[in-house]
């Protein structure tokens, strides 16, 4: 059996398997994205504390806030998709 890309269904699998596999890959990517955004926010805050310039400090804090807001939106969208309707 040939190996494919991540999320590709094996040749003997059904269409349902491929759909579930694609969904799991999408959820995994979202969780990784939120984790990375939070990590970037922490880095921006550390850089803001280390910077002497007030303008740059404000910009970095705003950037950290934006990263956290983006992670929050992604998390809320993920909850909407996974919760039973």
Q: How many domains does the chain have?
A: 1
Q: Note whether residue 27 is domain-resident.
A: no
Distance from C-alpha of 70 to C-alpha of 23, rounded to nearest angstrom: 21
Q: How many residues does the chain have?
A: 85
Yes or no: say if 9 and 21 are a contact pair by the CB < 8 Å rule.
yes
Give the residue, 85 or 82, on which the prediction is more confident. Answer: 82
Residue 48 included in any domain: yes
User: Is the pLDDT confidence value at 62 over 60?
Assistant: yes
Between 66 and 31, the more confident residue is 66
Q: Is the pLDDT of residue 43 over 80?
A: yes
DSSP-assigned states of every residue in 5-47: -TTPPPTT--HHHHHHHHHHHHHHHHHHHHHHHHHHHHHHHHH
Domain span at 46: 32-82
């Amino acid at each position: 059996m040939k190996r494919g890309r991540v999320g590709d269904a094996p040749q003997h699998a059904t269409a349902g398997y491929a759909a579930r596999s694609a969904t799991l890959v999408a959820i995994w990517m979202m969780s990784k994205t939120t984790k990375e955004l939070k990590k970037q926010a922490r880095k921006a805050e550390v850089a803001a504390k280390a910077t002497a310039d007030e303008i740059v400090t404000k910009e970095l804090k705003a950037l950290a806030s934006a990263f956290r807001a983006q992670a929050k939106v992604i998390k809320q969208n993920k909850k909407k998709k996974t919760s039973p309707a």
